[in-house]
């Protein structure tokens, strides 16, 4: 490895470490702020989930959106590069994690508020649909095929399915739902949310964004290693085949 490559790798490693530390610290602050929030008359202690639940939902949107944008970059001839396909796959994997956590924390929050763990509310139904589309995307990537064919059909699937994100986001305004309105539309202290709840929620948005970024960076790194290993194994297999032909 050249000195230039070594320096770049060292810089990238340092930035990744810094990102991880920032994600860990912000996540710790989010939990601390959430636990410090007072219980409300309507929801009791469960109201403290506002520190993490909206942030998880936001990160799931970001992850899905980045997956779709990376897919578009792969499909566009001028920007087509293997790195875009790897980023799309990594981001959609992380999207599954955040969407699942969104559904779980939402159900925990909804049980004392609505009296049920689950109801076919528009927001909840669309969130579940998001989760299934993400799983479907990952399943599509694992269907045996040439690398480029897999990347092409996965990219098309991501672009077709990403429409669920804005529909889910605005569902509480377009339809009558049990779910409360969009959290960022309630930043009016003394009216909807008190300042300490707003602060905890915003820190949660930052924390989940940093955690998402750190997870994607590492997943892309692993994906690149996997791709390099696959190429190496293919090259070895071809060399062995040629050697057999020469022997025969």
- Residue 195 to residue 238: CA distance in whole angstroms: 64
**Is the Cβ–Cβ distance between 116 and 110 less than 8 Å?**
yes
- Residue 243 to residue 5: CA distance in whole angstroms: 34
Length of the chain: 248
Q: How confident is the model at residue 246 (pLDDT cuts 50, 70, 90)?
A: low
Q: Quick one: average pLDDT of 191-212?
A: 86
Q: Give per-residue pLDDT as tens, 139-159.
A: 999 998 888 999 999 999 999
Average pLDDT, whole number, for the chain? 84
Domain ranges across the chain:
15-247
- Residue 208 to residue 105: CA distance in whole angstroms: 14
CA distances from 60 to 26, 100, 101, 140 (A): 18, 9, 9, 19
- Residue 232 to residue 154: CA distance in whole angstroms: 24
Number of C-beta neighbours around residue 219 at 10 A? 18
Q: Give per-residue pLDDT as tens, 44-64.
A: 788 888 999 999 999 999 999
Q: How confident is the model at residue 67 (pLDDT cuts 50, 70, 90)?
A: very high
Q: Tell me the backbone φ, ψ of residue 105, rounded to 5 degrees.
A: -65, -35
Q: Quick one: average pLDDT of 203-220?
A: 96
CA dihedral for 34, 36, 40, 46, sign (positive or negative)? positive
Q: How confident is the model at residue 172 (pLDDT cuts 50, 70, 90)?
A: confident
| Residue 4 predicted with pLDDT over 70 | no
**Is the Cβ–Cβ distance between 167 and 59 less than 8 Å?**
no
């Amino acid at each position: 490895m050249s000195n230039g490559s070594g320096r770049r790798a060292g810089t990238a490693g340092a930035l990744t470490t810094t990102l991880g530390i920032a994600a860990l610290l912000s996540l710790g602050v989010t939990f601390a702020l959430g636990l410090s929030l007072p219980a409300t008359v309507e929801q009791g202690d469960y109201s403290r989930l506002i520190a993490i639940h909206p942030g998880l939902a936001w990160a799931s949107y970001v992850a899905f959106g980045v997956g779709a944008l990376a897919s578009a970059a792969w499909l566009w001839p001028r920007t087509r590069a293997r790195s875009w396909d790897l980023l799309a796959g990594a981001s959609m994997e992380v999207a599954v994690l955040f969407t699942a956590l969104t559904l779980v924390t939402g159900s925990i929050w909804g049980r004392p508020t609505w009296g049920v763990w689950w109801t076919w509310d528009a927001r909840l139904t669309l969130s579940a649909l998001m989760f299934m589309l993400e799983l479907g995307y990952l399943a599509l990537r694992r269907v045996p095929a040439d690398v480029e064919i897999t990347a092409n059909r996965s990219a098309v699937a991501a672009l077709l399915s990403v429409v669920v994100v804005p529909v889910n986001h605005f569902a509480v305004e377009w339809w009558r739902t049990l779910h409360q309105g969009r959290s960022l539309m309630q930043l009016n202290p003394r009216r909807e949310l008190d300042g300490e709840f707003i602060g905890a929620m915003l820190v949660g948005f930052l924390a989940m964004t940093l955690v998402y970024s750190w997870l994607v960076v590492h997943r892309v790194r692993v994906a690149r290693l996997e791709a390099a290993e696959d190429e190496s194994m293919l090259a070895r297999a071809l060399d062995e085949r040629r050697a057999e032909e020469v022997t025969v």
